[in-house]
Chains A and B, each alone.
Chain A
């Protein structure tokens, strides 16, 4: 119960209403709540997970996002039961599970390497959890057929895994993970081995699947795009610590620190000093001497701050104006629907700009001077 309120509160806190877990879904949510309380895990002297706490609401799609070595897979393995916590507790629906072996936790799991049993057909692979649970043959057949149908695999039922493509194999692995309709499904970088087009296709399938079966899904990835697309909430990990938990929009627009800001999306991080504050309006002076304004409700201590301006929020003005600064283009890339422009301010600071290709009449040439500016509302001040 407390999990639910906690996650609800975190959603209220975000300025933009993110996709809301559970609510508005037609299927009845059958997912479990998971509560990770002050969990620590060491490998020898290396602190893999450092006092991590995370409350996951029933039916929530939560992503553990971080660079390699940040501890996200360790955290997933602790939840799956492949590794033991050194201290702290993991609760599922309020009951501690640290001492339950992985095969009695009743979770579904999808692995990066597919991990399909090579000696079994697709049907046998998907039937495996049902048979392990001692479910009768007729019922097993019915549920396998239903799940294969759902994953559009019916035509491949009698194939061996080695006869299938990577994408098909991963769909079989997903089918095996959901065939028991588990309350929790763990996914360990399931799409990393697939090419981009397939990845996007299966992302949508996973998203739809979540809507249909209502399980709580824990999804591990190092791909920030994937995390933003799929999740109700994202937990960002760095060096064994959970550094921020929030909705995708929240995390993207209001990162809690420079690590999150630079790990998710591209960013302009300007080191500046607070010159004066009038209500929510700050006057700042960058290290190189540029004076600009930013809106921030957060209490920031006077002195050094970092100011985040996302590249797509930087605007190019046709004429010099009061709020614009001249910037000399150093690189200009055509990305299709977008242009990615790097420029230097006169003060020497680098500014990254992303704009749609109709925002400028022609590709800015290297050496050309642009007039750039941003709305004070688009600044996010990090202390």
Chain B
């Protein structure tokens, strides 16, 4: 009798443990949501693309019409160039952050991170001002006597490469920095003590050990650039059409159903293929820039120890050592002839240039917003608040502002609820295939937004959700959920499992453990995640282009219309307000970000 009672009690406890100790069910809400609003439309996209007269009719058109084929080749070319530019300039910048200390480090890091959170549209808009015929760069070049008359600096390949690279540089810098900062400082010292000068230390120690970070950064930038559409539209000329632009242009014609979807599928497949190959070599963790999701009970340190072993085994091998002998050492001997200060001068110059390229556009829009001129001029002839008055008294701008705010709040609530639940589910359960599940959860980060917008458009038409606040918020949450999952999962893994065991041993029930140990631990992470999800929606333009209507105009949509129609200082006012929002957000989120950084080390 007592034995049976004991077993019943034990079974009961086991059930409760399953609920809280192995909470795989927490993955369900996000899973169902994404399945319906993300996976289903993408499958539908594929279905429509093969719905022509023959299965591959639309695809044949994509690959036989030179316009699309050329554009595809051009897009890949531009993306490769952008990734290369970002690598060349991003590496010294990452080193600059790494080598700085104290307040300087915080400042430099902020100068890189801040632009990353400012909307792409705003940063591109600023380049249009800076590079314009009457812009400051032209004036400077004329004043210096380099040019006789202002030249057309916009609407060419150079402007596109500059614009996209400037947008994506922070991604590269952060990716390389996380790899550089993980290198034990003792290694640098050991190399120095072994007689290696600064250049040799870089060449033989730093560079080989940061290959994974460089690879991750290169691929992230490349893949993101593939789907770019805002920047090339605004900064490029007729010869700079990128693939994603065809999709938005064709979207205006209803007759192109099927073909349009084929274009989308092509872009999607290329993107996923690159990610798949990259994941094969780097591990798919590169997408979310974090470590592996460990099984409970496996401590972080033990997985951390395994990872470099894998990397070492991968990078070792005959080919690498042959390359090192054939190219590495001779080149080093050549480089060794350079003065020792070459390295730090290069880092300082290139890194400083990057910071300038990232900050000048933001500084420019802030200055313009206070202009007293009645049209766009840089530098402004004088300062006033007239454009702020205009913005706050214009009912259309205000209506867009309120719409954006509403959509962003709803969207971030959806993202935080589903994302946090999913993060708990994936980190705390014993479910198999965690990497695959994590991959599915974060995959919206790599799917080109244009493709996502196109696929959602068909779904929303059928459900009559086009132009609704909730529809738009849900669409924005697709990209918000991965952000929340990544951040909350990281803060969950930062909680020492021993704390939970300690609470349990001393009599806390699973719910109490959650309330007293887990929740306080992840609360800062949730707050930061909520902010990023909010910002993601607030800045979102591409999905909104597909899914809004004349009655539902968000702030980025109105900006977009104005940028295309006339460049005026109201845009600068909106941009300045957004920069302010980002600065406040980053300052508030700084403790969380700093802790996450410390956790990585």
Contact = CB atoms under 8 A, between A and B. Distances in A.
Interface of A: 80-82, 101-109, 111-119, 121, 128-129, 131-134, 160-163, 173, 176-177, 180, 186
B191 A117 contact: yes
A106 B312 CA distance: 29
Given A109-B189, A160-B309, A115 B209 contact: no
B312 A176 contact: no
Contact of A82 (B192, B195, B309, B313): B192
A94 B390 CA distance: 76
Contacts of B197: 101, 103
A131 B205 contact: no
A128 B204 contact: yes
Interface in B169-197: 184, 186-187, 189-197
A119 B315 contact: yes
Contacts of B186: 111-115
Nearest to B324: A124
Nearest to B200: A132
Q: Which of A103, A128, A129 neighbours the largest number of chain B CB atoms within 10 Å of its CB? A: A103
Contacts of A177: 193
A115 B189 contact: yes
Main secondary structure on chain B at its contact with chain A? helix
A162 B195 contact: no
B316 A121 contact: yes
B312 A119 contact: yes
B208 interface: yes
Nearest to A101: B340
Q: Which of B192, B194, B196, B200 neighbours the largest number of chain A CB atoms within 10 Å of its CB? A: B194
A108 B192 CA distance: 10
Nearest to A80: B193
B308 interface: yes
Interface residues of B, number: 30
A111 B313 CA distance: 24
Interface string B504-542: 000000000000000000000000000000000000000
A117 B197 CA distance: 16
Contact of B312 (A101, A102, A113, A118): A118
B195 A132 contact: yes
Contacts of B313: 160
B36 interface: no
A175 to B, nearest CB: 12
B353 interface: no
Q: Which of B189, B204, B305 neighbours the largest number of chain A CB atoms within 10 Å of its CB? A: B189
Contact of A129 (B194, B201, B208, B312): B194
28 contacts: A81-B192, A103-B192, A103-B193, A103-B195, A104-B195, A108-B193, A108-B194, A109-B189, A109-B193, A112-B186, A113-B184, A114-B186, A115-B184, A115-B187, A119-B205, A119-B316, A128-B191, A128-B194, A128-B204, A129-B195, A133-B195, A160-B312, A160-B313, A161-B312, A163-B309, A173-B190, A176-B190, A176-B194
* 7 cross-chain pairs, A with B, having the tightest CB-CB distances, nearest first: A115-B186, A109-B193, A115-B190, A129-B194, A132-B195, A162-B309, A102-B192
Contact of B195 (A106, A117, A161): A106
Contacts of B305: 162
Given A161-B312, A177-B193, 17 more contacts: A103-B196, A107-B193, A109-B189, A109-B194, A115-B184, A117-B190, A117-B191, A119-B315, A121-B316, A132-B194, A132-B196, A160-B309, A160-B312, A160-B313, A162-B305, A173-B190, A176-B190
Contacts of B195: 103-104, 106, 129, 132-133, 180
B392 interface: no
Interface in B281-340: 305, 308-309, 311-313, 315-316, 329, 333, 340
Nearest to B207: A119
A102 B316 contact: no
Contacts of A133: 195
B208 to A, nearest CB: 4
A40 to B, nearest CB: 21
Nearest to B209: A119
Nearest to A77: B189
A132 B196 CA distance: 6
Given A118-B209, A121-B316, A111 B192 contact: no
A160 B310 CA distance: 11
Contacts of B190: 109, 111, 115-117, 173, 176
A174 B288 CA distance: 39
Contacts of A131: 329
B310 to A, nearest CB: 9
Interface in B192-249: 192-198, 200-201, 204-205, 208-209
Contacts of B204: 117, 128
Contacts of A106: 195
Contacts of B311: 118
A371 B401 CA distance: 90
Contact of B196 (A105, A128, A173): A128
A136 to B, nearest CB: 12
Contacts of B196: 103, 128, 132
A117 B187 CA distance: 6
Contacts of A82: 189, 192
B329 A102 contact: no
Contacts of A118: 187, 209, 308, 311-312
Contacts of B200: 103, 132
A263 to B, nearest CB: 27
Nearest to B320: A119
A335 B200 CA distance: 52
A218 to B, nearest CB: 12
Nearest to B305: A162
Contacts of A104: 195
B208 A119 contact: yes
A207 to B, nearest CB: 22
A369 B316 CA distance: 69
A199 B266 CA distance: 61
A133 B336 CA distance: 11
A186 B193 contact: yes
Contacts of B193: 80, 102-103, 105, 107-109, 177, 186
Contacts of B308: 118, 162
Contacts of B208: 119
A173 to B, nearest CB: 8
Contacts of A107: 193
Given A113-B186, A119-B209, A132-B200, A160 B192 contact: no
Contact of A117 (B198, B205, B309): B205
